[in-house]
Amino acid sequence: MKEKFETLDEVEIIQLAKDGDEKAFEFIVKKYQNRVANLIFKIIGDASIVEDLTQEVFLRMIESLKEYRFGSALYTWIYRITVNICIDEIRRRKRLRAYSLSDVLSQNPKAEPSHSHVEKTVEQREMREIIEEAISKLPPEYKTALILREFEDLPYDEIAKILKTRIGTVKSRIFRARKLLAEHLKEYKDLLK
C-alpha cells in the first residue's frame, strides 16, 4: 500500500482522500503526524496534550476536506488547522486560569524564589528551560509566527499563507517576538553575550 501512494503526487492522494479512500487518508496522517505533533508541542509547550490535539487536527482535516482547494500546498493547509487548534487551546487555558487563583499565583514568576536573582550563570539545561519559558510567555500571534520561522524554517510568504495574514504582518510579528525575548532575557546577562 505504501508504494502505491509514494508513486502518486499529493493532488492525487488528496483527491482519493476526498472521495473517502481510507488508505489515502492514512497515508496523509502518517506522513504529517510527527510534524503536526511537534508544531503543537512547540506552540503549546505541553507534551501531555500533543496526541489529543494531533488527533483533533486530522479529524478536523477530514471534516473540511471538501473545502480544500488545490491552490495551496497540503502542509500549508494542515499547518493552518494546527495553528488554529493551538490558538483555541491557548485561549481555553487562559479562561481556565482566570478562574483559578492558586493557578495564577503559581504562574507568577515573582512568587518563585528561584527567579528572584537578577544575574545568573546559566548551565546548558537551565538555559533551554529559560528560553522555553520566555517563548511560552509571548503573545500567541507572535509565538506562532516565530515558531513557524525558527522551528519550521518557513519563508515569510508561506507563514503569511498559514496565518492568513500579510507578509508585512508576519515580518513585524517575528521582529516584535525577538525584541520581547531580548527584553525578557536581559536579566540573564550571560545568555545574550
Beta carbons of 122 and 130 less than 8 angstroms apart: yes
Residue 55 C-alpha cell reads as 488527533
Is residue 155 close enough to count as binding other proteins by CB under 8 A? yes
Listed in sequence order, the residues at least 6 apart from 66 whose beta carbon sits closer than 8 Å to its beta carbon are 18
- Minimum gap (Å) between residue 65 Cβ and other proteins: 11
Stretch that binds other proteins, among 2-10, 44-52, 67-75, 94-102 (CB under 8 A): 44-52
Q: Which is nearer to other proteins, 30 or 97 (CB)?
A: 30
21 forms part of the interface with other proteins (CB under 8 A): no
HSE (side-chain half, CA atoms, 13 Å) at 131: 12
Question: Cell numbers at residue 31, please?
Answer: 506522513
Query: Could you give the C-alpha distances from 28 to 5, 20, 112, 160, in angstroms and in order?
Result: 10, 13, 44, 23
Nearer to other proteins, 50 or 87 (CB): 50
178: which residues sit within 8 A by CB, 6+ positions away? 146
Q: Which stretch binds other proteins (CB under 8 A): 3-11, 22-30, 68-76, 104-112?
A: 22-30
Residues interacting with other proteins, by CB under 8 A?
20, 22, 25-26, 29-30, 33-34, 37-38, 41-42, 47, 50-51, 54-55, 58-59, 62, 127-128, 131-132, 135, 146-147, 149-151, 155-156, 171-172, 174-175, 178-179, 181-182, 185, 191-193
